[in-house]
Structure 1
Amino acid sequence: MAQKVRDIMTGHPVCVPPNTEIKTVATTMRDEDIGAVLVTEGEDLRGLVTDRDLVVRALASDLGPQSSVGGLCSEASVRIGPDDDLDVAVWLMRTHSVRRLPVVDGTRPVGIISLGDIAIEDDPDSGLADISAAEPST
């Protein structure tokens, strides 16, 4: 696996400011068919919110839909550059037990790479690749 992150990342990530309402983020995830949104201040990456965060941190904690996503997001301390090798992405995901990595150019987010993206690239016949490549259910 000698490819670069930029070769398989999802470019043009959806970014929202920290004061965005949780309901807006959830609606965006639904409408865009994505499982993660980056939280930015200006062009700087602040954090990452996943669909799981919406359930475990917001819904299960009785946060209202008008609460801001800034207090809900996971800190994006683990990130990767677009010119890094995929092996580095795999190592970071394994070491930090994460399924998605923000891809940044300096501090500016330029994409997201997921475990599913790597599975599709590394072993397109695997079960995880099949699931990751499948059309979304409605």
Structure 2
Amino acid sequence: MAEFVKDVMTPGVVAVRPDASLVEAAQLMRAQNIGDVVVADGQQVVGVLTDRDITVRAVAEGVDPLTVSARTVCTPDPVTVAPHDPVSAAVELMRAHAVRRLPVVENGLPVGMVSLGDLAEAQDPDSVMADISRAEPDVRGGA
């Protein structure tokens, strides 16, 4: 069983500038087959933007995703973990803050992301959540 966040996280960070449009962020998510990006001002994490944020906080409100920035819609000042934090600390943070993803930050710099699915795969590889997390994404592009 994995002991540290570094053992379960997805290394590397996909990031957008705070002034990036939601369309830019969504296109990056599609290109990378991911559901979230870090919003970074230089090297500092200032937020996390998810596909759900774009849908619920912007599109459903009728705003123009070409003119609305990532900073406007993201979750600001996200809770983070360090690579050498115990996996149990990530679990507790997710539980306490009701979040599904945590940026992994080392010396102030984003180095990865840990998701609920990552934790499920590490903690209970036979669970339904782990099976779903291992599945290839549906990239058909249609409904």
Mapping of residues 37-48 of structure 1, within 5 Å: 37-48=37-48
Whether the aligned pair in 1 keeps the contact of 2:78 and 2:102 (CA below 8 Å) is no
Unpaired stretches in structure 2, ≥5 consecutive residues: none
1: CA distance, partners of 2:87 / 2:59: 34
1: CA distance, partners of 2:62 / 2:107: 36
Amino acid at match of 1:8: V
Moved over 2 A (4+): none
1: CA distance, partners of 2:48 / 2:15: 9
Q: What's the CA shift for 1:17?
A: 0.6
Mapping of residues 106-125 of structure 1, within 5 Å: 106-125=107-126
Amino acid at match of 2:28: T
Matched, 1:88 2:113: no
2:104: which partner in 1? 103
Mapping of residues 60-75 of structure 1, within 5 Å: 60-66=60-66, 67-75=68-76
Q: What's the CA shift for 1:91?
A: 0.5
1:51: which partner in 2? 51
Q: Identity over the aligned pairs, expressed in percent?
A: 46
Aligned residues: 138
1: CA distance, partners of 2:86 / 2:39: 25
Cα-Cα RMSD: 1.1
Q: What's the CA shift for 1:8?
A: 1.2
1: CA distance, partners of 2:33 / 2:127: 22
2: CA distance, partners of 1:31 / 1:46: 22
Q: Give the SS at the match of 1:46.
A: strand
1:29: which partner in 2? 29
1:88-134 deviations in whole A, cap 9, x for unaligned? 00010011111000110132111100000000111111000000110
Q: What's the CA shift for 1:3?
A: 1.0
Whether the aligned pair in 2 keeps the contact of 1:123 and 1:129 (CA below 8 Å) is yes
1:13: which partner in 2? 13
Q: What's the CA shift for 1:77?
A: 3.3
Moved more, 103-112 or 32-41: 103-112
Amino acid at match of 2:83: P
1: CA distance, partners of 2:10 / 2:49: 16
2: CA distance, partners of 1:97 / 1:68: 24
Q: What's the CA shift for 1:2?
A: 5.5
Unpaired stretches in structure 1, ≥5 consecutive residues: none
2: CA distance, partners of 1:12 / 1:2: 19
